[in-house]
Structure 1
Amino acid sequence: MEIHKRVRMKNEILEAEFKKLETKIHRFPPGLRAIENHRHIVPSFVALGPYHHGLPHLRHAEDVKHAAAHYFCDQSGHTVQQVYDKILSIADEARSCYDDKDAVAGFRDAEFAEMMFLDGCFLLCYAAYEKSDLLYNRMTLSTGPCMLRDVFLLENQLPWLVLEALMTFSTGTSYSIYWFVVLMAGSFDTTPHFSVSEFERVSVDRLLSYRPAHLLGLLRYYLCSGRGMEHGDPERDKNESLLSISSSAIELAEIGIELTASDRPWLADMSVQTDHWPFPFGQLSLTPLFLNDYTACWLVNMAARHGFFISSYISLLAMLIDKEEDVHELRAKYIVQSFFSNQQVLAFFKDLSRHLRLGQRYFLITEKIQQFKHQRRVRIALHRFLYNNYKIIFTLLSIASVLVGIFRSLMSLKQHQQ
């Protein structure tokens, strides 16, 4: 083929693929694969979709998938064949949703359709509140956090159109999957929750109007849907002078910027007020975060693909943490709560942030902090001195108060003697 035709053809192919970029199920980015021995990438209990299908350590879940399919079809009032035929009719479209074409090329149409059918039934049964005793035991009691990690891994997703097709057979499961996302989003909260209404951020009705590429995309939308965050936060031109800025939690306290836990409902909500009471101090407000084994995994996977707001949030927390004392400060302010040790929290954020692309909100926050430093140098110097020496100052004032008391007593005694 002549070069000009080949160039035009390749460009047209890439443009067509680019238009479907947000509907694809992608591989984990190479730049993030260095973190923690792939524990945030490879599922530990169940494979959903083709990327990790057939791995030896995941085969014990395949029997459970068949039991889930039987239960799902039985509850829906349809035969297994009827539900499977529906998935078979959309198998080609579902196959095109996977960005890694080599990973799906080895599956025949019937094999791929069966995988989508079994995996989709499994996922919907897992998300449903009501399930058989057998499924509850195999999916929940015996798996613990493993399943919670697995269902929100970037490489362990099913095309949303598969879940949509299955949900047409059972109206109950169509709402269960959304309530499941709402409940899982509550895992990031640092305060105990006793009912869905106490930590619901976006109504289920609003989630119903959004069509994600997959379940992880729905979770990310829910957590970041406060101010148009779901549309992404394009990376801005980097100001190299700002990349070297480091303002730890202790340093911010020294210069008069108070760290507070935001009461706003979105995970990546961040704001700086530089004229906050008490004047002339400032305030940095961050959404509180509860960090455990699976919420840490979810953060990694949401940031892995166009999660600019999430990556800005993670990068900002990493900037605030230079020492274990900074983690203690964030705990004291109820911004980060975790069963991890201070060293583990420090290592997690520092390791992850090294591999993330910085989003615009990170730069907006750091710019405001830098402006605060330049505009209030004298006041900051005074506050830093008082902050770092308040114990000595308090001791001196206490001694002075005692001396004044003694002096007054002596003067009173002298006057009495006269």
Structure 2
Amino acid sequence: MNTSRAEATVELRPIQERVRSTANRLEAGLSQIDNKIHRIPPGLRGIGDRYIVPSVVALGPYHHGSPHLHQMEEIKHVAAYYFCKDSGRPVEEVYAKILSVAIQVRCFYDEDAVARFSDTEFADMMFLDGCFLLEYIGANDVLVPVLANTMVLSTGPCMLRDIMLLENQLPWLVLEVLMTFKHVDVSEFILGNIRALLRVKDRPGEVYVNGDYRAPHFLGLARLYLTGDTAHGEENQSRCGVMSILSAIQLAEMSVKLKDSDATMFADMIMNKNGCLYGELSLSPVFLNEYTACWLINMAAFETCTSTGYPSDGFVVSSYLSILAMLMDKEEDVHELRAQHIVQSYFSNQETLNFFKVIARHLRLGNRCFIILEAIEDYKQKRRVWIVVHRFLYHNWKNIVALISIVSVLVGVFKTLLSLKYH
């Protein structure tokens, strides 16, 4: 009996050690969640490779070595040469600085992705990729022809897509170190492209740091510009009660108007009661094409990897995209959103509808989404009688106008007959 207990104790020790070490390792990883370069979560991989895999350049280890990206590797060497030349510092000095932080930033990537690289190979990759990215961001009219042709002219739009992919990010520390040698206006590049491609309004103020939050990479900075403070909206808490999911046309039937918001943040979705008869749902506008669609999806994926705090759950872009998807049930709904300048796109109505319906299946519904849905439900419950009346008027106003016109004509005829009778 005692022998059996001793054997059981011996057998338990390995599993006890495994669960303890695994817990410690994962907890240590969680402490680095804000700096980590994440991969697309499994639940979002159904969106397709077109939104995950870079098309012209690999930045970092996740897609490094892919055959279809090989051509850009030589250009990275050229970019590094000119970056160092413009900085006035020798290549050896700039590289040595990256080498000094390589071990630290190596921990920001998944272990299985960096295991195939030695420390020197990893430092080489960070140096070349970082110089390349900053040369692209700082590209101007004096860029050397070989870089201008490859970075700006031949593959420019694809580059804009690739540098915003979640799995194609470089740690901000790498860029920060390189920018001590040569200043590059990363902020203006991000803001300029977001203003131009997403068509959002200007937002003054600093975007590198917001409160205690520091963006870990390029994509994180772009998301910060579009979402504002990570604690935004914390004072409004969802009760997670019964909620209505209604399309744009159904809202119009209920006397809820859609409005192109003056707000610059995706977080600023507001459902207001506009007087006694009408409601108003205000949303920030968005411009949709192949590249901006990729940006938005990868921002939503980034939120899925990093948003762990409650009640400010951080699913800002996800909530915004989910609300837009909810508003689109038919092509007529897309047309209504276009008419109100909330969604602008080169896509057709059907393509826009398909895009939002596909991604909505993979998105996490955030707190802000629930707040809007609950506000719509509250409006619906408090104005039941008026909604019935308005729905009738909404669907029959043409007939009502025609009837009024006919009555007006008949009244005119009757008055004419009366006037003839008494003359």
**TM-score normalized by the length of structure 1:** 0.90
Does the 8 Å contact 1:235/1:360 carry over to 2?
yes
SS of aligned partner of 2:258: strand
State the distance in 2 between where 1:236 and 1:59 align. Answer: 48
Does the 8 Å contact 1:255/1:380 carry over to 2?
yes
> Which segment is superposed worse, 354-363 or 205-214?
205-214
Across the aligned residues of Structure 1 and Structure 2, the Cα RMSD in angstroms comes to 2.1
Query: Residue 343 of structure 2 aligns with which residue?
Result: 336
SS of aligned partner of 2:70: helix
Query: Residue 196 of structure 1 aligns with which residue?
Result: none
Aligned residue among 362, 370, 380 for 1:373: 380
1:178 aligns with 2:179: no
Deviation at 1:13, TM superposition (A): 2.1
Residue identity opposite 2:291 in structure 1: Y
Query: Residue 387 of structure 1 aligns with which residue?
Result: 394
Deviation at 1:137, TM superposition (A): 1.7
1:151 aligns with 2:163: yes
> Which segment is superposed worse, 258-267 or 320-329?
258-267
SS of aligned partner of 1:259: strand
Deviation at 1:181, TM superposition (A): 1.0
Deviation at 1:136, TM superposition (A): 1.9
Residue identity opposite 1:201 in structure 2: R
Distance 1:346 1:232, change over 3 A: farther
- The 5-angstrom pairing of residues 186-201 of structure 1 reads 186-190=195-199, 199-201=201-203
State the distance in 1 between where 2:247 and 2:339 align. Answer: 15
Does the 8 Å contact 1:235/1:357 carry over to 2?
no
Distance 1:190 1:21, change over 3 A: closer
Of all paired residues, the percent bearing the same amino acid is 54
Query: Residue 216 of structure 1 aligns with which residue?
Result: 219
Distance 1:216 1:232, change over 3 A: farther
1:314 aligns with 2:321: yes
SS of aligned partner of 1:282: strand
Deviation at 1:376, TM superposition (A): 0.7
Deviation at 1:94, TM superposition (A): 1.2
Does the 8 Å contact 2:198/2:292 carry over to 1?
no
Cα deviation 1:221-271 (Å, max 9, x = unaligned): 111115734x999997855x43xx320000000010000010011133201
- The 5-angstrom pairing of residues 63-78 of structure 1 reads 63-78=74-89
Residue identity opposite 1:415 in structure 2: Y
State the distance in 1 between where 2:168 and 2:422 align. Answer: 88
Residue identity opposite 1:178 in structure 2: S
Unmatched 5+ residue regions in structure 2? 1-12, 304-313
Residue identity opposite 1:141 in structure 2: L
Does the 8 Å contact 1:202/1:222 carry over to 2?
no
Deviation at 1:10, TM superposition (A): 2.6
Does the 8 Å contact 2:208/2:215 carry over to 1?
no
Residue identity opposite 1:393 in structure 2: I
Aligned residue among 124, 138, 145 for 1:114: 124
State the distance in 1 between where 2:236 and 2:189 align. Answer: 29
State the distance in 2 between where 1:63 and 1:415 align. Answer: 100
State the distance in 2 between where 1:61 and 1:14 align. Answer: 35
Query: Residue 194 of structure 1 aligns with which residue?
Result: none
SS of aligned partner of 2:38: coil
Distance 1:356 1:114, change over 3 A: same
Does the 8 Å contact 2:207/2:225 carry over to 1?
no
Query: Residue 95 of structure 2 aligns with which residue?
Result: 84
Cα deviation 1:96-141 (Å, max 9, x = unaligned): 011x211100001111111100100010111114333332221011
Query: Residue 39 of structure 1 aligns with which residue?
Result: 50
Does the 8 Å contact 1:148/1:294 carry over to 2?
yes
Query: Residue 280 of structure 1 aligns with which residue?
Result: 277
Aligned residue among 330, 334, 353 for 2:360: 353
Deviation at 1:371, TM superposition (A): 1.1
Cα deviation 1:194-219 (Å, max 9, x = unaligned): xxxxx43142x442676311110111
Does the 8 Å contact 1:311/1:356 carry over to 2?
yes
Cα deviation 1:352-382 (Å, max 9, x = unaligned): 0101111001111011111111111111101
Deviation at 1:351, TM superposition (A): 0.4
Deviation at 1:188, TM superposition (A): 4.8
State the distance in 2 between where 1:324 and 1:225 align. Answer: 31
Unmatched 5+ residue regions in structure 1? 192-198
Task: Show structure 1 runs of 4+ deviating over 6 A.
Answer: 231-237
Query: Residue 207 of structure 1 aligns with which residue?
Result: 208
SS of aligned partner of 2:344: strand
Does the 8 Å contact 1:328/1:342 carry over to 2?
yes
Query: Residue 195 of structure 1 aligns with which residue?
Result: none
Aligned residue among 403, 417, 420 for 1:410: 417
Does the 8 Å contact 1:308/1:359 carry over to 2?
yes
**TM-score normalized by the length of structure 2:** 0.89
1:13 aligns with 2:15: no
